[in-house]
Amino acid sequence: EVLENLPDGDVKRALQEIPEEFRLAVFYADVEGYSYKEIADILGIPAGTVMSRLHRGRKLLRVLLMDYAKDRGFGGSDGM
């Protein structure tokens, strides 16, 4: 996959660019491996909100990473 070719620095940079409420959910789930319930407890929000923030955060992250990939000559013109 195109995104696997991006350097870790690009992934970290993209993660820093998304709003904090989404960044924290994505970080705890995808980097730390916490469950929805664990993230909800950490952030003091309902599990449903965690799921929503994860969905939106991952979507934003995907768009940013695809832009980084295009800038570096990876991937085709169809975006994926």
Domain ranges of the chain: 2-71
How confident is the model at residue 28, as a pLDDT? 95
How confident is the model at residue 75, as a pLDDT? 65
**Rounded distance between C-alpha atoms, residue 78 and residue 18, angstroms:** 23
How confident is the model at residue 6, as a pLDDT? 52
What is the mean pLDDT of each successive set of 10 residues along the chain, which is 80 residues long?
59 89 94 96 98 97 85 61
How confident is the model at residue 76, as a pLDDT? 55
How confident is the model at residue 79, as a pLDDT? 46
How confident is the model at residue 68, as a pLDDT? 74
| Class of domain 2-71 as given by CATH | mainly alpha
Residue 39 in tokens:
């993230």
